A and B are shown apart, each in its own frame.
Chain A
Amino acid sequence: MMQHKNIIAAYSIMILLIIAVGVLQSWTIALTILNYCLISAVMTIGANIQWGYAGLINFGIMGYTALGGLAAVLVNVPPVKEAWKAGGSGMVVSLILIISGVYIIRTVLRKFENSKKRNYIVAAIIVIGFVFIRYISGPAIENIEAIDPAKTGFLGGLGLPIIFSWIVGGLFAAGIAFIVGKIALGLRADYLAIATLLIAEIIVSIIKHEDWLARGVKNVIGLKRPVPYEVDLQGATWFIDLVEKFHSKKLDLITSLSERQDVLNQLVIDASSVYVKLCLAGLFLTVVIILLILTQKALYSPWGRKMRAIRDNEVAANAMGKNVVKEHLLIFILGSAIVGIAGAMMVTNDGLFTPGSYRPMRYTFVIWVMVIVGGTGNNFGAILGGFVVWFLWVEAAPIALFFINFFTAHLEETNAVKQHLIQSAAYFRFLLVGIGLLIIMRYRPKGLIPEKINIK
């Protein structure tokens, strides 16, 4: 019962904080923060499955987020027909070659015994295949990228509603996680962290530099939203009526008709952006709740108990006949898939895909801080961590600015130290998050809402 009270109290404080931002700053900012909190919560659920349930460190969250974003582009953007004509066949042939190459290597690895000769054969296949594929794909890529490079210059996607990409993003991430897991999961914990981080860097650098795929660092903008646009709302009568009804008291006080119209217009513009953000928040909240129910069910199922047994004592679990390697791979794939979903959701929220922005600081380490601060192994804790840390990350600058002004109030405006501090207020977020992590690690190593297993 204590536990429940704690959770409820913590979440109420969090919601109050977001409402406070809405009242003090603006509702648009509050809802933007809320949406990012919800997306972060999905990511932390993914990371928490891997770390909290199974004790696997995955520092490659950045890579799976980027894959989810890529999925959003490939699902939503309409296909670029000229590009397909110019180089589509070359790319398809290359893809078939890659798949068959992998297949051949697999058969070689299976058929022959482990020897130097086999390794040389595999290396030779890789080198020859690489040169051959570059020979075929090179001109195709050039042709594709030459088509209207300012706007397209890539193959485009399927032209489906972006909401499908949430599933596709999960599948993309799961597929890559399978390969990564096969390569890296045998490693000891901190090696695994480094290996996954570096593999994620490889994934992001491929997305960044393969322009034919998703325009690379030239970014894809104007992805279609699953919710109405502000401009459409501002023209819709039902929406204007709604806003009028909502603010009728305030509007009735204004007697002049033209003034009333001006105020109403301003209110409609504000309300439209709030409405759009609320719709997105509703969608994101649905995903969070579905995932939360599923993960909670999994946690208390026999499977969840098995995972905890593996986490707490791998050797013993192995001796009991649990297939540790298989379960690790499975949970690595599941967690990564959830992160992939979050990646697609983030691009849906922003409406644009900017591969250059995927950096380990923001998309790996901050997410990890969220999981650790919130509570490893506890889904409610992980979600809370996502909310708290993202809130701090965004609001750190205004808070820092407030304190700088407070403590340097006696100094003159032209004081060099004061000016320097005010200019660097944005960087206090690193300090705040870092110190927060250190304090939690030291005094509450299990997080704000620690894991508690009740056997019913």
Chain B
Amino acid sequence: MDFINAIVLLLNYTVIPALTYGSQLALGAIFVTLVYGILRFANFATGDMMSFGTMVAVLLTFYFQSLGISFGLLPTALLTIPPAILAMIFYMLFIDKFVFSYYRVKKSPPVQLAMVSVGVMFVTQAIIRIIIGPFDRRFFDGEKFILKANEFKEMTGLNEGLTIKSTQAITIFVTVIVVSIMFWFLNRTKTGTSMRAYSDNEDLALLSGIDPKKVVLITWIIAGILATIGGVLYGLDKSYRPFVYFNNMLPIFAAAIVGGIGNPFGAFLGGYVIAFAEILVTYAYKKFFAYLLPEFMEPDSLMQLLSTDYKFAVSFSILVIVLLFRPSGIFKGKTL
């Protein structure tokens, strides 16, 4: 019984939160990796672009709520995702047309594009703050829990409760669907194949008649979908605050590089690697060992490797270690 209690404890406090957080990171990381692989630059505006999509969703949610429209048990924000995606794609294409395309046509070095994306980051951040302000906003509504700790305890008779928040279930569910569709698209359709060809060897792809404009367009569309969904899911699970989204760019970058930048599947797994590492290293295992070990061996300390303050530092350290030993990432991305 103690053993099952220990497992439930771990599930409740590490595995489920890590899966949720990992899904949110994974969506962002695939966005980074696609832009890097196909448009060939590190997009420092990643976090703020996600923030932009989420902002549209938040505003629409408030509007829908004022109209009295709701999605029953599910959060209203899910209804607002499609229009938010449209707005996001429109914004990205607008930026691409007036900013990025010039450097792409000129074949500027990737560094210059990265610097330009810093400019885009500033502008996007300004737009967001001017429209919605820098404050913390919660836009979650609907049923909060799928499974409450007490219900679980009654059901199974265990000491430890298992809580599943609806946002966690929605995040994992939506991520699985979106990512499966995306991989199907990239691997099975003609357009997806042409995108991968363009990413692998631009000149050869152009020679074989692939239209670069179409590839770029589709890339931004997929990027917009991923950025908005990732951002909204994160906002539903925690809350929406522009500054936090900017900061989230860093673990997202870490996930993309750990997975091997330019490799979407690697980025997907990289998100979970980072999330699990962050949560497992900063979790206090005292109670877990109390269940497993006999009484006289019970630990006194918290059994925590690092305090939760170092959450971000853990993911960055993993990145540094990966860069040291496998510079192309765990799952072989582009060579450096």
Contact = CB atoms under 8 A, between A and B. Distances in A.
Given A187-B336, A190-B114, A435-B119, 5 more contacts: A187-B327, A191-B261, A437-B118, A438-B116, A441-B112
Interface stretch (B1-9, B16-24, B203-211, B304-312): B304-312
Contacts of A198: 250, 253-254, 316, 319-320
B322 to A, nearest CB: 10
B316 A424 contact: no
A149 interface: no
Given A372-B115, A424-B130, A365 B122 contact: yes
A138 to B, nearest CB: 8
A218 B257 CA distance: 34
B135 to A, nearest CB: 11
B129 interface: yes
Interface in A158-172: none
Nearest to A366: B122
A202 B317 contact: yes
B31 to A, nearest CB: 15
Interface string A438-450: 1001100100000
Nearest to B256: A194
A361 B247 CA distance: 10
B273 interface: no
Contact of B115 (A197, A361, A429, A441): A441
Interface string B139-158: 00000000000000000000
A433 interface: yes
A136 B150 CA distance: 41
Interface in B271-330: 301, 307, 309-310, 312-313, 316-317, 319-320, 323-325, 327
B42 A194 contact: yes
A368 interface: yes
A186 to B, nearest CB: 7
A434 B44 CA distance: 13
B316 A201 contact: yes
Contact of B253 (A194, A206, A365, A437): A194
Q: Which of B115, B250, B310 has the most CB of A within 10 A?
A: B115
Interface of B: 41-42, 44, 99, 102, 109-112, 114-116, 118-127, 129-130, 133-134, 246, 250, 253-254, 257, 261, 301, 307, 309-310, 312-313, 316-317, 319-320, 323-325, 327, 336
A189 interface: yes
B316 A434 contact: no
A97 interface: no
Contact of B327 (A186, A209, A435): A186
A189 B246 CA distance: 22
Interface residues of A, number: 44
23 contacts: A57-B111, A57-B114, A138-B301, A186-B327, A187-B323, A188-B336, A190-B41, A191-B257, A191-B323, A193-B114, A194-B253, A198-B250, A199-B316, A201-B312, A205-B310, A365-B122, A368-B115, A427-B126, A427-B130, A427-B134, A429-B126, A435-B122, A438-B119
Given A189-B111, A198-B253, A205 B313 contact: yes
A442 B102 contact: yes
Given A189-B110, A424-B130, A195 B116 contact: no
A84 interface: no
Q: Give the 4 A-B CB pairs with smallest separation, nearest first.
A: A434-B122, A431-B126, A430-B126, A434-B123
A198 B327 CA distance: 15
Interface of A: 57, 119, 138, 183-184, 186-191, 193-195, 197-199, 201-202, 205-206, 208-209, 361, 365, 368-369, 372, 421, 423-424, 427-431, 433-435, 437-438, 441-442, 445
Contacts of A433: 122
B323 A184 contact: yes
A385 B325 CA distance: 38
A368 B336 contact: no
Nearest to B118: A365
Nearest to B113: A190
Nearest to B324: A183
B201 to A, nearest CB: 18
A209 B310 CA distance: 8
Nearest to B134: A427
B320 A199 contact: yes
A189 B41 CA distance: 10
Contact of B111 (A190, A209, A427, A438): A190
A57 B110 CA distance: 12
Contacts of B320: 183-184, 195, 198-199, 202
B116 A441 contact: yes
Contacts of A183: 320, 323-324
Contacts of B115: 368, 372, 437, 441
Contacts of A205: 309-310, 312-313
Contacts of B119: 369, 434-435, 437-438, 441
Contacts of A138: 301
Nearest to A439: B119
Given A191-B323, A194-B253, A205-B313, A431 B130 contact: yes
B121 A424 contact: no
B133 A424 contact: yes
B319 A195 contact: yes
A445 B112 contact: yes
A209 B313 CA distance: 11
Nearest to B130: A424
Nearest to A437: B119
Nearest to A187: B336
Contact of A191 (B127, B129, B336): B336
A67 to B, nearest CB: 16
A190 B110 contact: yes
A209 B307 contact: yes
B96 to A, nearest CB: 13
A429 B126 CA distance: 8
A321 B114 CA distance: 31
A266 to B, nearest CB: 37
B225 to A, nearest CB: 24
Contacts of B109: 189
A421 to B, nearest CB: 8
B126 A368 contact: no
Nearest to B254: A198
Nearest to B133: A424
B151 to A, nearest CB: 37
Contact of A430 (B122, B319, B336): B122
Contacts of A442: 102
